[in-house]
Amino acid sequence: MANPTRFPSARTVGKTLLATALALSLAGCNWVVMAPSGDIAAQQADLILWSTYLMLIIIVPVIVLTLMFAWRYRSSNKNATYKPDWDHSTNLELVIWAAPLAIIIALGALTWVSTHKLDPYRPLDRIDAGKPVPEDMEPLVVEVVAMDWKWLFFYPEQGIATVNELAAPVDRPIKFKITATTMMNSFYVPALAGMIYAMGGMETQLHAVINEEGSYEGFSANYSGAGFNKMRFEFLGQSEADFAQWVADVKAQGSPLSRPAYKTLEKPSIDDPVRYYSEVMPGLYDAILNRCVDPGQVCMKDLMKSHHAHHGEGAAE
């Protein structure tokens, strides 16, 4: 389905302005947030720019008028009009109240539209501007586990898993299912999309797409203890052929991720190297999510079912 919103690209509108105004102040900086390679992140960058432009409509005139009034009505200017009895101007009141009201309405409309359009749980309806998602294209599913202090990625369709390395083909939607082993973290690839929290015993989601091949940085954006600063991973945007080769390399070079292997991996560690797992114990991600990896543990989903069943029987009685 084509995107119904037809705002012009704010990045196009502001390209010359930003290049001129920020060239010196941003020299040497990594401006990936405002020049991303994924469509969702690009739309978020547009939202930041449009919000800034709308607010500047008020801010710039106020600054200019403040300086102008300070200069015009300085004590040494004997020609300035002096009206000690002036206290009201209907035209001025209309300007003072109408302009901010119009800005608030515009920002409210922009917020309403973007909140729904950029909902991370909402499946993508486009790959890039003017390029809708083909009807027969299924998203790549990646299950993400934030650990202490590393990232574990499951590829259920490919039957593999990796640590601190993530890959996806360009121009194919990605559906991330995200959880954590213990404390809360935040999954963030600035070039791809906004940050999404990872919480133990809960699953959050993110739909995104990468549009350019390359290597991008991902990390935790939420402080989570001693190894937080090293909790980083590499995100690879690849062609379909390169992604297929990457999957084949993981299968060829990796080892099985069994329950004992996972329990070893689960122990807190800092600055872990990239690891490949050629096969994964069936249901491991689901067991991590429901906190029942160890034999004999009752899964949270089963506990909730029994809890609801017990209350249902009580209500029936």
Q: Looking at the domain that runs over 128-305, which CATH code has it been given?
A: 2.60.40.420
DSSP class per residue in 158-191: TTEEEESEEEEETTS-EEEEEEESSS-EEEE-TT
1.10.287, 1.10.1220, 1.10.3470, 1.20.58: which CATH number matches 10-21+30-77+88-117? 1.10.287
- For residue 212, the model assigns a pLDDT of 96
Cα–Cα distance for residue pair 175/122, rounded to 1 Å: 10
| Residue-wise pLDDT tens digits, 34-58 | 889 999 999 999 999 998 998 898 8
- For residue 3, the model assigns a pLDDT of 42
Judge residue 287's burial from the number of C-beta atoms within 10 Å of its C-beta, 0-12 exposed, 13-18 middle, 19 or more buried: middle
Is the pLDDT assigned to residue 227 strictly greater than 50? yes
Is the pLDDT assigned to residue 104 strictly greater than 50? yes
- For residue 21, the model assigns a pLDDT of 45
Cα–Cα distance for residue pair 313/317, rounded to 1 Å: 6
Cα–Cα distance for residue pair 153/168, rounded to 1 Å: 12
**Domain-by-domain residue ranges, the chain?**
10-21+30-77+88-117, 128-305
- For residue 28, the model assigns a pLDDT of 41
Cα–Cα distance for residue pair 268/149, rounded to 1 Å: 6
Residue 57 in 3-state DSSP? helix
Is the pLDDT assigned to residue 276 strictly greater than 90? yes
Cα–Cα distance for residue pair 254/186, rounded to 1 Å: 27
Please tell me the pTM assigned to this model. Answer: 0.81
Beta bridge partners of 128: 131
CA distances, 116 to each of 23, 38, 49, 207 (Å):
33, 18, 18, 13
